[in-house]
Amino acid sequence: MRQIAIYGKGGIGKSTVASHLSYTLADQGLKVLQIGCSPKNDSTRQLLKDFPSTILDVLRKKEFDYDAVEMNEIVYESPLLFKNGGKVYCAESGGPEPGVGCGGKGVVEAIETLTRLNIFENLHCDVVIYDILGDVVCGGFSLPIRQGYAQETYVVASGELEALYQVTNVSKAIKRFEVRSGSKLGGLIINLRRVKNELKIVKDFADKIGTQIIGIIPYSQVVKECGGQGETVFRLAPDSEEANIYRKIGERVFNNKNLVVPKTIDFEDLYQWWLRYLE
């Protein structure tokens, strides 16, 4: 079983990337479990018809008595039909009640609950995908890296400074825990945002930290429209250029053997480096 983490800063499109990745892998006949690890609990929106109950919500209702939790209360099978008998299962970690408690707790509780209920084995999962908010690389949101659940991490980024900074933060976490967890960086998935010289920025940046670019998704209204309707481009625009790009990204992730411990860069250096591309 492979466990893959997709990190990205809020708004960069990581749920869209993760959902399309799950879809592509399922189309190859694999059993995929996608775990949304963002308090917003809408990671799996494009794979499900309805909003699932979050693991944290279910646990709260049961006063954190794990043994009272049933698998079908927290894991939902996607009603979409995949080729070759593949399946997508969805779970959402959930987050704190607005204003109280800890933001990363959802991730910790979600993984512990799924592990305790033996869900990965019971569902015969081939792949587990964690879709994780990367703005706050705290103890909670870094759990899949720190504990080595996810041996491969991909970061969704653009040429924007904030997005690249977020990659360096995730890279620092990978480097910090590498010895103990074995978790590595598999590459960057680029969502273009119409920044000046953006292609050059992201390519040079990938070189700079010693990783590769898995795929580049153009700035696209098609993706936005499909996302707005709660659908993937595979369903609403299966012949579009965007659908092809997402398929290729899925294949490249599936075949990827190039896992690295990335180089880290301090923000000040990153900023000075990045500024040069705007001239």
Partner 1 sequence: MRQIAIYGKGGIGKSMVSSHISFALANKGLKVMHVGCDPKHDSTRLLLMGKMPKTILDTLRKKNFAIQHVARDEVVFESPLKLECDGKIYCAESGGPDPGLGCGGKGVIEAIETLQHLNVYRELELDVVLYDVLGDVVCGGFSMPIRQGYAEEIYIVSSGEIEVLFAASNICKAISRFTSRSGAKLGGIIGNLRELKNEEDILNKFAELLGTHVVGFIPYSEIIKECSGKGMTLFQLAPHSKECDAFQKLTDGIWNNKEFSVPKSINFEDLYAWWKKLVAKRNA
146, 184, 247, 252: which one binds partner 1 (CB under 8 A): 146
Q: What's 104's DSSP letter? A: S
String of contacts with partner 1 for each residue 32-51, x by CB under 8 A: ------xxxxx--x----xx
135 belongs to the catalytic site? yes
Which span (59-67, 79-87, 166-174, 203-211) binds partner 1, by CB under 8 A? 166-174
Question: Measured from the CB atom, is 166 or 232 closer to partner 1?
Answer: 166
9 labelled catalytic: yes
Of 177, 171, 125, 94, whose CA–CA distance to 3 is shortest?
A: 125
Told to judge if 40 belongs to the known catalytic residues of this protein, a careful annotator would answer yes
Establish whether 31 is a catalytic residue: no
For partner 1, the binding residue among 60, 118, 271, 276 (CB under 8 A) is: 271
Beta strands 87-92; 76-77: pairing state: antiparallel
Report d(CA 129, CA 127) in Å as an integer: 6
DSSP notation for 12-80: SSHHHHHHHHHHHHHHTT-EEEEEEESTT--TTTTT-SSPPPPHHHHHHHTTT-GGG--HHHH-EE--S
Interface residues with partner 1 (CB under 8 A) are 9-12, 15, 38-42, 45, 50-51, 95-104, 133, 135-142, 145-146, 161-162, 165-166, 169-170, 172-173, 176-177, 194-196, 224, 227-230, 267-268, 271, 275, 278
Catalytic residues: 9, 14, 40, 135
